[in-house]
């Protein structure tokens, strides 16, 4: 059984769950969100310090990353529709059974602990730490309250629609450049949580640490060496 401790094993597990297109598109959209947020913040800072003409390069970069984000979110929506269409009733029931046990609450507790540990070692102000914890608890609380495949599928589709409609330029300059903080604030973290649950519920239900390890690998894929910088 895959323990998700390496990138190769992670992608093997993703392939076993027939979710590569879905996982790849979410990771790519998350990366684009992080790059957009950083370019947008830099452009605003340069405008303040050097004048509006100095920020043009980063404004162009931000717009490019914003378009990339939108494209990948559209692809995520399509990939999820294909993933859902490929599930038979037995698969949907396995997900429902997984959600109705205490396993999801165990997973969200593990996810909170590991994410808080990452934030603890980051250079955050108290206000930023509070913002991150609020976003984290709100995300995990919503997931823990879902009790069936259909509820989770409807919630995920609604979530993707909200991401596409999100006004990502608002107050971005007030946020730090920490990757995981950006993913929490702009709700990409919850996409990773949901897909980790889907994959583990379907194919690795006997591994109690599967979902948390898959989530951590998601974050590594999206943030790379900058996970804690």
Predicted structure pTM score = 0.86
5 is a domain residue: no
Q: Which two tokens stand for residue 130?
A: 């509070």
Convert the pLDDT of each residue in 148-165 to its tens digit. Answer: 999 999 999 999 999 988
76 is a domain residue: yes
Domain count, the chain: 1
Convert the pLDDT of each residue in 185-222 to its tens digit. Answer: 888 999 999 998 888 888 777 787 888 888 888 888 88
Reported as a pLDDT band with limits 50, 70 and 90, residue 226 is low
204 is a domain residue: yes
107 is a domain residue: yes
What's the domain range around 63? 17-226
58 is a domain residue: yes
11 is a domain residue: no
8 is a domain residue: no
133 is a domain residue: yes
Mean residue pLDDT across the chain: 85
Residue with tokens 């602990």: 113
Here the contacts of 107-110 (C-beta below 8 Å, separation 24 or greater) are 107/196, 107/197, 107/211, 107/212, 108/140, 108/141, 108/143, 108/144, 108/193, 110/209, 110/211, 110/212
Decide: 189 and 220 in contact? Cβ < 8 Å: no
């Amino acid at each position: 059984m895959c323990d998700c401790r390496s990138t190769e094993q992670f992608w093997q597990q993703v392939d076993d769950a027939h979710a590569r297109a879905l996982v790849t598109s979410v990771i790519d959209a998350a990366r684009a969100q992080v790059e957009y947020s950083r370019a947008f913040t830099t452009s605003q800072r340069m405008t303040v310090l050097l004048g509006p003409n100095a920020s043009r390069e980063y404004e162009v970069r931000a717009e490019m990353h914003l378009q990339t984000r939108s494209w990948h979110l559209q692809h995520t929506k399509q990939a999820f529709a294909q993933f859902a269409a490929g599930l038979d009733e037995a698969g949907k029931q396995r997900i429902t059974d997984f959600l109705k046990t205490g396993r999801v609450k165990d997973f969200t507790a593990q996810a909170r602990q590991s994410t808080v540990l990452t934030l603890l070692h980051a250079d955050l102000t108290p206000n930023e730490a509070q913002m991150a914890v609020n976003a984290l608890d709100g995300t995990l609380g919503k997931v823990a309250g879902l009790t069936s495949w259909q509820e989770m599928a409807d919630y995920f589709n609604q979530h993707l629609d909200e991401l596409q409609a999100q006004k990502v330029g608002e107050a971005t300059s007030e946020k730090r450049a920490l990757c995981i903080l950006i993913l929490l604030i702009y709700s990409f973290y919850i996409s990773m949580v949901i897909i980790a649950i889907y994959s583990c519920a379907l194919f690795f239900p006997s591994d109690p640490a599967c979902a948390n390890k898959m989530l951590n690998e998601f974050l590594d894929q999206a943030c790379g060496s900058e996970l804690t910088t």
